[in-house]
Amino acid sequence: MSCCGQKRAQLQRQQAQPVQPRVSTGADKHTEPPRPPRLFEYLGSGSLVLRGAVSGSTYRFSHPGDCVEVAYEDTFALLAEQIVRPKN
């Protein structure tokens, strides 16, 4: 009995060839552009140190009216603080 169309031999040749891994160039990934930091103003008295909920960054307000740039990913946590407010 013969092999129809040499399918078995073709399959063996394909399995013997190594598969080249696909290298990602980054162009095929959907990435958002980085979001700009937001400026927050301190309304309390004395000084204040807050830690970013997402980034873990430390934000130091040294005096009343002090303004600090806050990473975009931490802005929502700082909005919950009553003694700091976003500055336009």
Query: Tens digit of pLDDT for each residue in 7-57?
Result: 777 767 766 666 566 666 666 567 888 899 999 999 999 999 999 999 999
Q: Residue 80: inside a domain, yes or no?
A: yes
DSSP 32: P
Q: Read off the pTM.
A: 0.63
Cα torsion through 24, 25, 26, 28, rounded to 10: -70
Query: SS3 of 69, please?
Result: strand
Domain annotation covers residue 3: no
Q: Is the pLDDT of residue 6 over 80?
A: no
Query: Does residue 23 belong to any structural domain of this protein?
Result: no
Spatial distance between the Cα atoms of 13 and 33, rounded to a whole number of angstroms? 45
Residue carrying structure tokens 């934000």: 59
d(Cα 70, Cα 83) in Å, to the nearest integer?
A: 15
At residue 1, does pLDDT exceed 60?
no
> Residue 64 CB: number of other CB atoms within 10 A?
14
* 12 found inside a domain: no
Q: Quick check: is 42 in a domain?
A: yes
In this prediction, residue 83 carries a pLDDT of 95
Residue 73 lies in a domain: yes
pLDDT, position 72: 95
| Number of separate domains in the chain | 1
How sure is the predictor about 2, in pLDDT bands with cuts at 50, 70 and 90? Answer: low
Domain range enclosing 80: 35-88
